[in-house]
Amino acid sequence: MIEGKRILITGGAGFIGTGLAERLVERNTVVLYDCQHEGMPLTYSPIVGHPNLLTIRGDVRDYEALAREVEKAHIVVHLAAIVGVSDVLRRGRETIEVIVLGTSNVLRAAERNQVLERMVYLSTSEVFGPSSFRADENSHPTVGPVTEARWTYSIAKLAGEHLVHSYKMEAGLPTVIIRPFNVFGPKRLGDHVIVRFIINALLNKDLEVHGDGSQIRSWCYIEDFLDGMLAALTRKEAIGEDFNLGCAENTLTIYDLARRVIRLCKSSSQIRFAEVSFTDIDVRVPRLDKARRLLGYQPRHDLEEALAHTITWYRDHLDALALRFAK
């Protein structure tokens, strides 16, 4: 239980930030710092207008504006990043700057914070490269070639991990590193395969699968992931540690995912195969032993149940989302 704290979430208007704020806002002051709020997952949340919720428009690359918020927070959760493969491919320079400079700014300001109890950094499972089967926290990161724009995101997140660890060792900051493995659920927007599949299936449009669809993913429902995040915010054992969070039980190929979405949506959609125009991830499956041991982490939602909940939300918001998706 977290009560009476001031909690700063950078990138807080996004999918994970909104979900975390919903869990914390009743008993804490939650500050969502983001460069954009309109049209973000936050706008679909019932906590908009809550008296304990503060929203601040700001860029994590702006040190002075960011530091004013970091220096008075009891807990800092640093989520801000450019996300989505298509955006990363188009905005490689900005992707690196937002993650690396933004993380450096958060940590510099956190070092001056006299009341800081926890700083959580959200990294990515992509630091393990194109093939990460049962990846644990000691699995070796893989750095892709500079000519492949896909890796700008993961290399920046990996640099952020090293920065966070350095501040823990040299400045004694109470840091935690989290690597999410394919988190999905209601209110996720943007360039995400489950979002595309569900919206197209509800509209009875073709579902586009890259390559032959044999890519393997483990899917983690947002509520399970947030359970792990909250444990990372509260358990003393988490300080100074890094954790992979996902759900290995919900593992299947992208082709099988498309088929399941079509079935659950009762859709007439067909699956269409498209040539892969970017470097893709072949396998992404986490090993969760450390998270279970130190965080008590145990995912509760199987894929069928979680997809059904998610589809219901998208069906309820289909008119607005279909228009947005078509742009």
Question: What is the tens place of the pLDDT at every residue in 204-250?
Answer: 999 999 999 999 999 999 999 999 999 999 999 999 999 999 999 99
> Which CATH entry fits the domain spanning 6-184+221-247+281-300: 3.40.630.30, 2.40.30.10, 3.40.50.720, 2.60.40.10?
3.40.50.720
Average pLDDT over the chain, rounded to whole?
95
This prediction has a pTM of 0.95
What's the pLDDT score for residue 98?
97
Going by the DSSP 8-state scheme, the letter that residue 97 receives in this structure is: I
153 is catalytic: yes
67, with CB counted inside 10 A (0-12, 13-18, 19+), is: middle
Q: What is the pLDDT of residues 23-68, one digit of tens each?
A: 999 999 999 999 999 999 999 999 999 999 999 999 999 999 999 9
Residues in the chain, how many? Answer: 327
Q: Give CA separation, 84 vs 76, 135, 150, 152, 193, in Å.
A: 23, 22, 10, 12, 10
Provide DSSP, 292-323: HHHH-------HHHHHHHHHHHHHHTHHHHHH
- Centroid of chain to Cα 71: 24
Q: What is the distance between the alpha carbons of residues 183 and 180, in angstroms, rounded to a whole number? A: 7
Q: What is the distance between the alpha carbons of residues 109 and 119, in angstroms, rounded to a whole number? A: 11
What's the pLDDT score for residue 41?
97
Give me the residues of the chain with pLDDT under 70, please. 325-327
Q: Which structure tokens are listed for 278? A: 């970017």
What's the pLDDT score for residue 278?
73
What's the pLDDT score for residue 130?
81
What's the pLDDT score for residue 326?
57
Closest by CA position to 279, among listed 129, 133, 155 = 129
**Which residue of the set 153, 167, 221, 314 is catalytic?**
153
